[in-house]
Structure formats: structure tokens, C-alpha cells
Amino acid sequence: MIRIQHLKKSFATDFTLSVDDLTVEDGDRVALIGLNGSGKSTLLRLLAGQLAPDEGEIICDFPKEAVSYQPQSPYAFRGTAEYNIRIAPGAPKDLTPLLQKCRLEQLYKKKMTALSGGEQQRVFLARMLAGGCRLLLLDEPLSAADLQTGEYLSRALREECEATGKTLLFSTHLPKQAFDIANKILLLDGGRVVEYGGKEQFRTPESDFGKAFFALWKG
């Protein structure tokens, strides 16, 4: 379980992330959504220990070695796609099921430098899923995926977390990805939590910002 209490993190740009009280249960899949600059990446970095809060605390039941964080621009190690997946701590010997889920069967022997941005992103996702970590913190993990690729990667991420019981927090600017993957949604605006709860409640948001945000997405 993760519990956030009276958390604040301020920056010289006059931006402040403020989270009063937030709980993530084991096995939850939480989508962080909101406009650019709303605090999604900052919250993930705080949870990952990349940043220290100015005030408040984060109580995390997961030991440090059980937490895996992926930034928006992950590091690609030299070598093949397969090497970049197997380097994950706890990766299984047989990668076949994971390669199939991420549709990497034809790519895993290729060098990372020969892959497109979208193909590399599939490798990065496979690397995260291959590891034995119980808490995954992913910043825009499907941002380079086209519509079709995004759909099967969303399914792979959701199914893998469901099957293993991993807890997931990920940021996205696409509500559709949030609904496809998450069981809970956290809506941020200007560094503050506007709404948080089961994804079904977001079919009819309570806040004015939530209504405007989802109306804009629906077009």
C-alpha cells in the first residue's frame, strides 16, 4: 500500500504539487491524467524517490528493490532488444509469452539503434514487465505508440498486472489509455488532485474541471 499525507513539492517556476491525502492499495492500476504541467511526472518522481518532498510524507509498503521507475525517455543499453529486456532484475529465462504480448517476436534480435522510437518503447515496456518488481511507476509509457499499437500494449500492461498482482501508477494524456488500463484514475490540475477514484465515476465527473477535461477529449 502507498499512503500520501500532506505532500508538497515546490519549484522555482512557481509550480507546487500539493496532495493532502491519497491511498493506493496493493494491486491497484492508477492512471495519472491531466493537462501538460499538471504534476503527473512530479508525483511519479516523488514516489520513485527521484525527488524529496518539501513537506509531508510518502508511506510505501514496498521495499526499494521492489520498485521500478521508468521516465519519459528511458535509457537504451547497447546491444539487442533482447538484451535490454533480459537486463531487468528477475527477468524469466523464457521471454516468449512477453515477446508475443508486446509483439516483439520479429524485433528482439535487432540492435536498439535499428529500432524506431515506437519499437523501442515496446522494448522498454517489455523490460518493465519482465522484471520482478511489484510496484511499477511509468511516465507516459505509450506516448510513442500509434493507435493500434497503443491498444495491444494497453492490453498487455493491464493483463500482466492483473495476472501478477503488480501495483501500477502511470501517466498519460489520453483518457482512453487510462480507461483501458487502470481501475482507478487520478485527475490533476495545476498541481492539485481534482478527482480520484474508480474509473466508472469518471463517466460522469463531479468537478467542473473534470467535466470540461473529459468533454474536450470526447470532442
28, burial (CB in 10 Å: exposed 0-12, middle 13-18, buried 19+): middle
- SS3 assignment for 4-57: EEEEEEECCCCCEEEEEEEEECCCCEEEEECCCCCCHHHHHHHHHCCCCCCEEE
Q: What is the pLDDT of residue 33?
A: 93
Q: DSSP label at 137?
A: E
Bridge-partner residues for 131, per DSSP? none
pLDDT tens, position by position, 112-169 = 999 999 999 999 999 999 999 999 999 999 987 888 888 889 999 999 999 999 999 9
Bridge-partner residues for 19, per DSSP? 7
Set of cell numbers at residue 116? 524506431
User: Which domains does the chain carry?
Assistant: 2-218 (3.40.50.300)
pLDDT tens, position by position, 48-101 = 999 999 999 999 999 989 999 999 989 999 999 999 999 999 999 999 999 999
- Which residues contact residue 152 at a Cβ distance below 8 angstroms, ignoring those fewer than 6 apart? 101, 103
